[in-house]
Amino acid sequence: MYLDDDGRIDILSLTLEELTAEILKMNEKAFRAKQIYSWLHVKRVTDFSQMSDISAQLRDELGRKFCIKSLFIVKRLESKRDNTVKYLYRLSDGNHIETVLMEYEHGNTVCVSTQVGCKMGCRFCASTIAGYKRDLAPSEILSQIYTAERDSGRAIGGVVLMGIGEPLDNYDNVIRFLELLSSKEGMNMSLRHVSLSTCGLVPKIYELAKLKLGVTLSISLHASDNKSRSEIMPVNDRYDINELLTACREYFKQTGRRISFEYALINGHNDSYEDAKRLAKLLGDFVCHINIIPVNKIKERNFTSDRKSAQRFRGYLEQLGLNATVRRTLGADIDAACGQLRREYEI
Ligand code: SAH
């Protein structure tokens, strides 16, 4: 159970089955749970008083037993170039997280955070610098989408778990979030429209594979050999490239979903033709896609890259027969890459 400081249950984190069990305990009929679930996940009210087909007495009781966690928009930055919107939200305990709403030809996608901060310590990543505070509850991941949808008035058709935090380090809450997101009585999103990005927590990749959820797995690879990967990603000392790719093969075997490999290009570190050749050797027999991302500058580090070197590296990979694209840069004028905004507010 997810409780707030007053011992009330975080109702948005409950599945319909769990909510039904709670409502039955209150001597109410099961259909009430369905009504309430719909108020929360379809009409998206933020207060029990708005549930107009529920009696005032039951609404009072609900308010004593449950809380509806909501997010407060502290800052909203909208890109003038491509309609990307970046939100800085405050959570009920005063912590901050970031969410980005992106517009693609095929629809709107939201990039959500899964933790307040991150423990993984990737050297180029702003999210890790301000340190790890806590995991997000399922409701807090879901509310990022509901709040962005309500605020922007844009329908959201896809979700990427690529914001602040390592989703597989908050595994149970993320799985429950996916269950709520895809619930027929709720947002009803197909999990084929969801991508989960991980730095490579191998045992959790195997667990996720077994669930066969249809989620696209996105692997933050960023290097073609263990030495250079360990230099920028400490997680590589726990699970090296070989173990990671073995887990990815199993994920593909179990789910049939093509894997996406992220490769943040850093000038002078991982951008040579030799790197491309090693990458081709590693990934040559994979059903996969490689996404090259010119590394985003963060204030605290002097890693650099640009679209030109990313295009050159893509050319190398193509020559070697690999399927790669350079990721479109969205929201460049509002610093839409994650982690920066939260830092300013946490210190
Ligand atoms: N923890 C997860 C998801 C969050 S990060 C993961 O590691 O995959 C989302 C993506 O942004 C990851 O691929 C991450 O490596 C990348 N990233 C982080 N900082 C970056 C930066 N400064 N430039 C480019 N990509 C970055």
Share of the chain above pLDDT 70, in %: 94
Kindly state whether residue 194 falls inside one of the protein's structural domains.
Answer: yes
Angle, CA of 133, 63 and 135, to the nearest 5°:
15
249 with 339, same domain? yes
CA of 253 to the centre of ligand 1 (A): 25
What pLDDT is recorded for position 334? Answer: 66
Q: Residue 158 belongs to a domain with what CATH number?
A: 3.20.20.70
Q: Are residues 210 and 267 in the same domain?
A: yes
In a domain, 2, yes or no: no
Q: What is the pLDDT of residues 76-108, one digit of tens each?
A: 999 888 889 999 999 999 999 999 999 988 899
Overall average pLDDT of the 226-244 stretch: 97
219 pLDDT exceeds 70? yes
The mean pLDDT of 23-32, rounded to a whole number, is 97
Average pLDDT over residues 249-266: 95
* Shortest-distance Cα residue to atom 7 of ligand 1: 199
Q: Which residue range(s) make up the domain with 49?
A: 9-67
Among 19-28, 123-132, 315-324, name the one with the lowest average pLDDT.
Answer: 123-132
158-185 per-position pLDDT tens digit: 999 999 999 999 999 999 999 999 999 9
Whole-number Å distance, alpha carbon 126 to ligand 1 midpoint, is 9
Q: How confident is the model at residue 347 (pLDDT cuts 50, 70, 90)?
A: very low
Statement to judge: residues 124 and 42 lie in one domain? no
Give the residue, by CA position, lying nearest to ligand 1 atom 24.
Answer: 295
Q: Which of 30, 45, 67 is the last residue of a domain?
A: 67
- Domain endpoint, select from 67, 92, 112: 67
> Please, is 288 exposed, middle or buried when counting C-beta atoms within 10 Å of its C-beta (0-12, 13-18, 19+)?
buried
Convert the chain into a string of H (helix), E (strand) and C (coil). CCECCCCCEEHHHCCHHHHHHHHHHCCCCHHHHHHHHHHHHCCCCCCHHHCCCCCHHHHHHHHHHEECCCCEEEEEEECCCCCCEEEEEECCCCCEEEEEEEEECCEEEEECCCEECCCCCCCCCHHHHCCCCEECCHHHHHHHHHHHHHHHCCCEEEEEECCCCCHHHHHHHHHHHHHHHCCCCCCCCCHHHEEEEECCCHHHHHHHHHHCCCCEEEEECCCCCHHHHHHHCHHHHCCCHHHHHHHHHHHHHHHCCCEEEEEEECCCCCCCHHHHHHHHHHHCCCCEEEEEEECCCCCCCCCCCCHHHHHHHHHHHHHCCCCEEECCCCCHHHCCCCCHHHHHHHC
Q: What is the pLDDT of residue 241?
A: 98
Residues 131 and 45 in one domain: no
Mean pLDDT for 5-24 is: 95
Same domain, 60 and 103: no
48 CA → ligand 1 middle, Å: 38
Assess whether 290 and 200 both reside in one domain.
yes
4 found inside a domain:
no
Q: Are residues 265 and 306 in the same domain?
A: yes
240 pLDDT higher than 90: yes
User: Is it the case that residue 338 has pLDDT exceeding 60?
Assistant: no
Ligand 1 binding pocket mutation candidate from 262, 263, 304 (most atoms within 8 A of CB): 262
Q: What lines the ligand 1 site, CB under 6 Å?
A: 120, 122, 124-125, 162, 166, 197-199, 220, 262, 264, 293, 295-296, 298, 337
Q: Within a domain: residue 3?
A: no
Is the same domain home to 206 and 333?
yes
Asked if 117 and 133 touch (Cβ cutoff 8 Å), the reply is yes
pLDDT at 128: 82
* Owner of token pair 């997810």: 2
Identify whether residues 169 and 253 lie together within a single domain. yes
Name the phi and psi angles at 230, rounded to 5.
-60, -30
> Domain ends where: 40, 67, 94?
67
Q: Quote the pLDDT of residue 38.
A: 98
Give me the pLDDT at residue 106, please: 84
The number of domains in the chain is 2
Looking at the structure, do residues 147 and 61 belong to the same domain, yes or no? no
pTM of the model: 0.95
The pLDDT value given to residue 300: 67
Quote the ligand 1 centre to 228 CA distance (angstroms): 16
Same domain flag for 60 and 77? no
Tell me, what CATH number does 41's domain have? 1.10.150.530
Mean pLDDT of the chain: 93
Same domain, 34 and 96: no
Q: What mean pLDDT is predicted for residues 129-148? A: 95
